[in-house]
């Protein structure tokens, strides 16, 4: 077993969040913690973190976590789950980690139907590493590696990971949510809970994609970032359940 000692809390309460103001990472992390506590499975949880802002969660978690090489979280989680079948294993990955550098690992884990949960935070850009364009950057959206904005003829179209994973046969649950409104925060929590329950029931691969923001690299204040999600991100990445078996 991965677990080391009994725990009842998921968050190191003496820590002050180091995430940028308005960023959804702290909200999503809190939702994960609430679900684990309410389901009384903190002792059997283990998170595999991607590199970047997602990896900062290690500073606030009070339960087991592993930081995988950039993009390899799904592969590490697959091995961890296969060798610790009673552990609830989930990955926490950004769009650069899940959809770009780790695309092969992500697709392969989903295609094998690994009994793991993937929480994919999609803010349309690389965060900590400098605001580079990611596979989910919107057409026309500027990035440090696309100063004139994403151009279809040069960079292709944004990659819709829920739609991509939904083309596979084996995944059992795929849902895209957001945290831009109180109602969507509630839906995100329910989606995380369902994805965790699927794993406990041995059903197989579950993906929860959370459409998020990055006020710092988008170059806007937190309020404007919420408007951008509503007006630009969600039309490109529609929220809802894509598969529920």
Per-residue pLDDT of the chain (245 residues; tens, 9 = 90+): 344 434 456 766 677 778 899 999 999 999 999 999 999 999 999 999 988 888 887 888 878 899 999 999 999 999 999 999 999 999 999 999 999 999 999 999 999 999 999 999 999 999 888 889 999 999 999 999 999 999 999 999 999 999 999 999 999 999 999 999 999 999 999 999 999 999 999 999 999 999 999 999 999 999 999 999 999 999 999 999 999 99
At 138 the pLDDT is 98
pLDDT at 13 (0 to 100): 61
pLDDT for residue 147: 95
Provide the domain count of the chain: 1
Across 69-198, the runs of DSSP E, i.e. the strands, are 88-94, 117-122, 173-178
pLDDT for the residue numbered 154:
96
Report the predicted TM-score, pTM, of the whole model to 2 decimal places: 0.93
Residue 121 located in a structural domain = yes
pLDDT score recorded for residue 2: 40
pLDDT at res. 4: 40
3-state secondary structure of 243: strand
Residue 99 has what DSSP assignment? I
What domain range is 175 assigned to? Answer: 25-244
Residue 20, in any domain of the structure: no
What pLDDT is recorded for position 1? 38
The token pair at 40 is 């009384």
pLDDT confidence of residue 218: 95
Residue 116 lies in a domain: yes
pLDDT at 59: 82
Angstrom distances, CA of residue 4 to CA of 64, 92, 194 = 8, 21, 26
122, 165, 241 from 170: Cα distances, Å: 22, 9, 16
- Predicted confidence (pLDDT) per residue in 186-211, tens digit: 999 999 999 999 999 999 999 999 99
**Domain contains 9:** no
Residue 15 pLDDT? 72
pLDDT for position 8: 53
Domain membership flag for residue 229 = yes
CATH number at residue 179: 3.40.50.970
Give Cα separations from 78 to 17, 27, 49, 212 (angstroms).
29, 26, 13, 25
Whether residue 99 is contained in a domain is answered as yes
What is the per-residue pLDDT for 40? 92
């Amino acid at each position: 077993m991965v677990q080391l000692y009994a725990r009842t809390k998921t968050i190191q309460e003496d820590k002050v969040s180091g995430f940028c103001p308005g960023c959804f990472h702290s909200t999503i992390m809190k939702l994960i913690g609430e679900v684990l506590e309410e389901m009384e499975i903190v002792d059997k949880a283990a998170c595999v973190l991607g590199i970047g802002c997602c990896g900062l969660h290690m500073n606030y978690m009070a339960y087991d976590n592993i930081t995988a090489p950039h993009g390899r979280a799904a592969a590490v989680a697959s091995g961890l789950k296969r060798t610790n079948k009673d552990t609830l294993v989930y990955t926490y990955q950004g769009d650069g980690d899940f959809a770009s550098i780790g695309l092969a690992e992500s697709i392969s884990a989903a295609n094998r139907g690994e009994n793991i949960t993937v929480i994919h935070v999609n803010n349309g850009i690389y965060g900590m590493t400098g605001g580079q364009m990611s596979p989910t950057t919107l057409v026309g959206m500027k990035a440090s590696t696309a100063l004139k904005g994403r151009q279809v003829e040069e960079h292709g179209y944004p990659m819709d990971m829920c739609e991509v994973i939904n083309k596979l046969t084996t995944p059992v649950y795929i849902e895209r949510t957001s945290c831009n409104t109180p109602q969507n925060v509630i839906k995100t929590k329910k989606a995380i809970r369902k994805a965790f329950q699927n794993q406990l029931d041995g059903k197989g691969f579950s993906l929860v994609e959370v459409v998020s923001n990055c006020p710092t690299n988008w170059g806007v204040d937190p309020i404007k970032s919420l408007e951008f999600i509503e007006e630009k991100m969600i039309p490109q990445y529609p929220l809802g359940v894509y598969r529920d078996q």
